[in-house]
Amino acid sequence: MSESVFTQDPTAVEYIQHHLSNLTLGEGFWSVHADTIIVSWVLGALLLWLGHVVGKRMTTDSEPSGLQNAVETVVEFVNDQAQSLFPRADPLIGPLALTIFLWVFAMNFMDMLPVDLLPLIAQWIGQNIFGVAAHNVPFRAVPTADLAVPFAMALVVFGLSIVYGVRKKGLGTYLKGFLVHPFGKYLAPFNIVMSLVEEIAKPLSLALRLFGNLFAGELVFMLIALTGFAWYMAPFQAALGWVWTVFHLLIIVIQAFIFMLLSVVYLALATSDDAH
Amino acid sequence: MNIFWTLVIEMISFGLFIYFFGKVLWKPLMQAMEARRRRISEGLAAAERGQRELEDSVNKAEERMAEARSEAHELLANAQRQANETLERARADARGEGERIVSAAREEVDQAVAQAKEQLRREVGELAVDGAERILKREIDTKAHNDIIDDLVAEIR
C-alpha cells in the first residue's frame, strides 16, 4: 500500500513525518497550508455545485428525485436539530448549521480515501508540472486534521456567540455577566477569571475535539499503511484497514454532527434568557 | 509552521461558505419544502372537504330517495282509496238503482192491484145493483143507495 516516492524506502518515522507535514507556501509568519485550503475550497465548491444542481432541478410538484431526496433529508435533519436547540427564528442559524455539517463531513470524508492517494497525486503534479522533487511535496488530505480549520470554524462560532450575546442583552448586561457570574457580585475578580475560562473553553474544546478525532484517525490509517511491510501482511493490513474505515466512517459523521450541534448550542446559550 | 494566515483564510472561507450555502442550498430547499408542506396540507384539506361533500350528497340522495318512496306510497294509497271509493259508490249506486227499480215495480204492482180492486169493486157494485134491480124489478134510486153500496164495497176490501 505504501508505494514509495522516496529514492529509498522511507523509515516508518520518515513516512509519518512526511504525511503529517502540510504543503506549505511562504515562509514563517506568512506561510499558508496550501493543501488544507485547496481541499477545503474544492469540497466546499463541490457541495455548492451539488446544491446548485439540486436547486436547478428542484421540483415541488412531483415526488423529489433521488439526489434531491437525499439533500432534502440532510437539510431537514439539520433544520430539525437547529430548531429544537435554537427555537427563535434566525436567518443565520440554519445555513450555519448546514454548512458546518456538510462541510465538516466532506472534509472528514477525505480520511476515507486511501491514505496515500491524494499525496501521490500531489507528488505527481509537483514533479511533472512544477518540477519539484517528489519527496519535497508533502500533502495532507484531511483539512479538519489540520489545526487551522477546526479553529477557524470554532472562532467564527465564538465570535458569533459574542455578537449574539451582545445583541440580545446589550453590551452592559453582557459584560456584567462576566462580573457577577458564577459567584455573585462580591467575588467579581474571581468571576472574571472563571467566566473567561468558561468562554474560552467553548471554542477550544469545540475545535480540539474535531481536530483530535480526525488527527488520530488519520494517524491510525498511516499506521495501518505501515503494516504493509511484507507481502504476507497484505490480508492483515486489508482487514485492519476495513475495520478502521468502518469505525471511522461512524466517527466522521458523529464529529460533524457534534460540531454542528455544539455550535448551535453555544449560540443558543448566548441568546438564552436566563442569567448565564 | 505558522497557521495564522491559514486560520484567517479558513475563517473567511467559512463565512463565505455559510453565505453561499444559505443562498444556494438552504433557502431554495427550505422554500421548496415549505411549498410542498403547504401543498400537502392543502391537498389533505381538499380531500377531507371532498369526503365531507360526498357524505353530504349521499345523505341528500338517501333523503330524496326516502322522500320519493314515501310519496310513491302515498300516491299508491290514494289511488287505492280512490278506487275503493269509486267501487263503493258504484256499488251503492247500483244498489240504489236496483232498489228504486224494485220499489217502482212494487208500486206499479200495488197500483195495478189497487186498480184491479177498484175495478172489481165497481163491477161488483154494479153487479150487485144489477142483481138487486133484477130482483126488485124496479128502479133503484142510485143516488140514494150509492152510500150503502159504497159501504159494502169498503167491506169487501
Q: Summarize pLDDT for B55-89 with one digit per residue, the tens.
A: 999 999 999 999 999 999 999 999 999 999 999 99
How crowded is the C-beta side of A240, counted as CA atoms within 13 Å? 16
**pLDDT tens digits for range A98-111:** 999 999 999 999 98
pLDDT of residue A204: 93
Report whether A97 contacts B25 (CB < 8 A). no
Distance CA A53, CA B1 (A): 39
Higher pLDDT, B22 or A186: B22
Sequence length of chain A is 276
> CA torsion angle for B40, B46, B52, B55 (degrees, to 10)?
-100
pLDDT of residue A276: 46
Provide ipTM, 2 decimals: 0.84
What average pLDDT does the segment A245-258 reach? Answer: 93
**CB-CB under 8 Å, B6 with A32:** yes
Q: Which of B7, B20, B30 sits opposite A48 (nearest CB)?
A: B20
Residue A2 pLDDT > 60, yes or no?
no
Q: At what angle do helices A148-169 and A171-180 cross, to 10 degrees?
A: 110
Kindly give, in sequence order, each residue whose CB lies less than 8 Å from that of residue A112, ignoring residues fewer than 6 positions away: A245, A248, A249, A252
**Cβ of residue A144 closer than 8 Å to a chain B Cβ:** no
Distance CA A124, CA A5 (A): 9
Contacts of A105 in chain B (CB under 8 A): none
Instruction: Write out the H or E segment, with its range, that includes residue A275.
Output: none
User: What residues pair up with A25 in beta bridges, in sequence order?
Assistant: A32
Higher pLDDT, B135 or A142: A142
For chain A, give the longest Cα–Cα distance. Answer: 70
C-alpha cell at B111: 197500483
Q: At what angle do helices A188-226 and A234-270 cross, to 10 degrees?
A: 160
Q: Is A33 helix (H, G, I), strand (E, B) or coil?
A: strand
pLDDT of residue B6: 87
Residue of B nearest to A24 (CA): B1
Q: Decide if A209 is catalytic.
A: yes
Distance CA A273, CA A270 (A): 9
Distances (CA, A) of A203 to A2, A152, A158, A191, B150: 36, 10, 6, 19, 159
**CB-CB under 8 Å, B11 with A152:** yes
Exposure string (b/e) for A150-184, b if CB count within 10 Å is 16 or more?
Answer: bbbbbbbbbebbeebbeeebeeeebeebbeebeee
**pLDDT tens digits for range A47-79:** 999 888 887 777 666 666 777 888 888 888 888
pLDDT of residue B144: 67
**pLDDT tens digits for range B11-46:** 999 999 999 988 888 888 888 888 888 989 999 999
**Cβ of residue A259 closer than 8 Å to a chain B Cβ:** no
pLDDT of residue B50: 95
- Residues on B contacting A at a C-beta cutoff of 8 Å: 1-11, 13-15, 17-22, 24-30, 32-33, 35-36, 39
Distance CA A109, CA A113 (A): 7
Residue with cell 486489508: A238
Q: What percent of chain A has pLDDT over 90?
A: 28
Residue A167 pLDDT > 90, yes or no?
no
**Cβ of residue A27 closer than 8 Å to a chain B Cβ:** no
**CB-CB under 8 Å, A55 with B17:** no
Lowest mean pLDDT among A122-126, B124-128, B136-140: B136-140
Residue A1 pLDDT > 60, yes or no?
no
Confidence label for A246 from pLDDT (cuts 50, 70 and 90):
very high
For chain B, give every domain's residue range. 7-156
Amino acid at site B19: Y
Residue A8 pLDDT > 60, yes or no?
no
pLDDT of residue A60: 64
Mutate to test the interface with B, among A33, A42, A104, A157 (most CBs of B within 10 A): A33
Contacts of B25 in chain A (CB under 8 A): 47-48, 51, 54-55, 71, 75, 95, 98
DSSP labels, B9-56: HHHHHHHHHHHHIIIIIIHHHHHHHHHHHHHHHHHHHHHHHHHHHHHH
C-alpha cell at B94: 247500483
Residue A275 pLDDT > 60, yes or no?
no
pTM (predicted TM-score): 0.72
Mutate to test the interface with B, among A17, A31, A32 (most CBs of B within 10 A): A32
Report whether A192 contacts A179 (CB < 8 A). yes
Distance CA A268, CA A151 (A): 20
Confidence label for A16 from pLDDT (cuts 50, 70 and 90):
confident
What average pLDDT does the segment B92-115 reach? Answer: 92
Q: What are phi and psi of A91, to 5 degrees?
A: -75, -15
HEC string of B81-122 equals HHHHHHHHHHHHHHHHHHHHHHHHHHHHHHHHHHHHHHHHHH
Q: Which of B7, B29, B35 sits opposite A152 (nearest CB)?
A: B7
pLDDT of residue A173: 82
Q: Decide if A140 is catalytic.
A: no
For chain B, give the longest Cα–Cα distance. Answer: 196
Mutate to test the interface with A, among B4, B24, B34, B40 (most CBs of A within 10 A): B24
Kindly give, in sequence order, each residue whose CB lies less than 8 Å from that of residue A233, ignoring residues fewer than 6 positions away: A227
User: What residues pair up with A115 in beta bridges, in sequence order?
Assistant: none
pLDDT of residue A5: 47
Nearest to A119 by CA among A15, A26, A251: A15
What average pLDDT does the segment A219-230 reach? Answer: 85
Q: What percent of chain B has pLDDT over 90?
A: 52
CA distance B30 to chain A (A): 8
Q: Tell me if the bond preceding A182 is cis, omega within 30° of 0.
A: yes
